[in-house]
Amino acid sequence: MTSARYAIRPMTRSDLDVAIAWAAAEGWNPGLDDADSFYAADPTGFWMGWLGDQPIASLSTVKYGDRFGFVGFYIVVPQYRGQGYGWAIWQAGLASLGDRLIGLDGVVAQQDNYQRSGFQLAYRNQRYSGPSNTLESALPAAIRPVEPTDFPALLTYDRQLFPEDRRPFLEKWLTQPRAIALGYFTPQGLQGYGQIRPSHTGYRIGPLFADHPEIAEQLFAALQSRIPIGQSIFWDIPTVNTAAIAIATAQGFTPMFDTARMYRGTAPAVSLDCLYGVTSLELG
């Protein structure tokens, strides 16, 4: 039973740091500079459950426009699990999204629970890991760092792979102080982009979007060449993109765990063949 002292309130920016620390403790390995990007996406989309003056639960329900929302950070401090606190914040958070299409990337063990809330499996993501093994060298002619003037083209490209505009998030995400964002530019325009950033353990890749497997492979090689050799890299790949899995396997990367991409409502029509790496399991 939840306690009468239990209250659910919007997170402040400093509350989000607490939730990210919980996520790190769960082994989710968030990026070191992710918090500002997350909060910029929707400052009203983060919830914390308090038992008296102690935070014990979190949930994010980030809104992208009027039609799409994404759920993440569903965490209850271990000693308070099984007492209804998680269910209470879950219900409150989902209610804030109204009748939007809602997505989430949940652990497979919770898939049945999510189905009871109306979510259906669309596909699975698999986290791959391996060491960086490419020495830094000159970038290929088509690949260069993403610049602010590239954002109009980048946002147009991103809309093929995400259900709604997410400019406030991407502007922070791709300019994180310790991240490297690279685009693949040709006379025909942008044909792919990706980011690598330091996380609590090693480095995370995400997103990795590309028109063709050869472009994705070049972007991946360029990204990993920008970090010290031997560092661990973690890469979340939709299992429906077999070309992405082939690239990871050829690099000696091995799978760690799966998550279930699920939607409440009709799954959006995005170009999964071009989606080689998930941006964020927390925000989509």
How many whole angstroms separate alpha carbon 23 and alpha carbon 251? Answer: 28
> Does residue 183 contact residue 139 with C-beta atoms inside 8 Å?
no
Half-sphere exposure (Cβ direction) of 27: Cα atoms closer than 13 Å: 4
pLDDT at 1: 63
* Rounded (10°) angle between helices 213-225 and 242-250: 40
**Dihedral in degrees, nearest 10, Cα atoms 120, 96, 38, 66:** 80
Do 6-123 and 127-277 share a fold? yes
pLDDT at 138: 84
| Total-model pTM | 0.95
pLDDT at 114: 95
Residues of the chain with pLDDT under 50: none
The domain locations on the chain are: 6-123, 127-277
pLDDT at 135: 74
- Give Rg (Cα) of the chain: 19
CATH code for residues 127-277: 3.40.630.90
How many whole angstroms separate alpha carbon 242 and alpha carbon 237? Answer: 9
CATH code for residues 6-123: 3.40.630.30
Nearest to 206 by CA among 134, 259, 250, 267: 259
| pLDDT one-digit tens code per residue, 110-144 | 889 999 999 999 999 999 999 998 777 789 999 99
pLDDT at 145: 97
Cα–Cα–Cα angle for 235, 276, 26, rounded to 5 degrees: 30
Nearest to 179 by CA among 187, 168, 170, 189: 170
